[in-house]
Chain A
Amino acid sequence: MVKLIDIFKKNFQADILDSHEQQGNETIVVSPERLHDVLGFAKNDPETLLNALMDLCAVDYLGQGPRFEVVYHLYSTSKNHRLRIKTRVPEENPKVKTCVDLWKSADWFEREAWDMLGIVFEGHPNLKRLLLFDGFEGHPLRKDYKINRRQKIPEPLERP
């Protein structure tokens, strides 16, 4: 069986920054600029056909090079294989292109990643808070968000 990693390496050569595999659990790391192309390829290529975005999340590596990592967990319902695609974005400009055009499920995933970690998804149709309320300041899953920081209590909603 062909490894997914090899398929991507063949097609994207220099854009695959890193890759590893353990017990069939395959991961590739790509640059944020080429991320959308790689995702589009992953979804549509007849060899990979990763048609389901299972999860999208972000990780905060406080104090490291590019601080944030955005992680995509993909699954193919027809081929029954999985792939994890990661990309690193810097603290000053935590931006990646949205993938709502590829998978509709990305809509809420991306809003959650924006809400909790402050990753900006360019081109997202409705990038606003999902779990927290509108007046919330900051992104609480960032490691430098103070644990005892308190927010202003939101006002009661008026009846429409």
Chain B
Amino acid sequence: MRLKVESKKMSSVVENNFLTTKLSELVAWGRKNSLWPLPFGTACCAIEFMGAVDSVFDISRFGAELVRFSPRQADLLLVLGTINYKQAPVLKKVYEQMTEPKWVVAVGSCATCGGFYDNYSVLQGIDEVIPVDVYVPGCPPRPESILLAIVRLQEKICKEAVGEKPELYIYKPHSVRK
């Protein structure tokens, strides 16, 4: 179909309605501003996440408010709490059920390194079973730390879209144990 537009009108359409960018950047921009988190909360850190969602800290300011409890509908896995050996396969399965692309944030000492549970039952960091994008230190971390993790993850999503290497404090997935 041929569009018949007056030349004056055409120029105003171009002026007001077009942006030029790379497709990958556009997609990354959309992704970073609409993260759908799945909270895998097993302990105290999950309460901090509830704090991050409430009206004081308000995670919606970062576009990551639509908390889902189905891995099929989420693209951001937040691991909040102590993960023990019995839960490790469950966590792995939840991660595998999420659709690509997906990101993982390990919140608190327990999820990043086992916390103070140096014992027979607790996994010494969730990166023993799934890859992690951002680690949040603290026991428990403040809700601001969780928000900061989301901002860092957004930076990472953008940087990876343009082929840049993310900065040092953002870790590449590693040590996935079969």
Contacts and interface: CB of A to CB of B under 8 A. Distances in A.
Interface residues of A, number: 15
A154 B86 CA distance: 7
B119 A154 contact: no
Given A147-B118, A147-B119, A155 B124 contact: no
B13 interface: no
A133 B120 contact: no
B97 to A, nearest CB: 10
B93 A154 contact: no
Contacts of A149: 120
A150 B84 CA distance: 11
B128 interface: yes
Interface string B47-91: 000000000000000000000000000000000000001101110
A147 B117 CA distance: 10
Contacts of A80: none
Nearest to A140: B120
A155 B86 CA distance: 9
Contact of A156 (B89, B119, B121, B177): B89
A157 interface: yes
A75 B134 CA distance: 53
Interface of A: 132-133, 136, 140, 145, 147-151, 153-157
Top 8 nearest A-B pairs by Cβ distance?
A: A140-B120, A156-B89, A156-B93, A153-B88, A133-B86, A154-B89, A156-B92, A151-B85
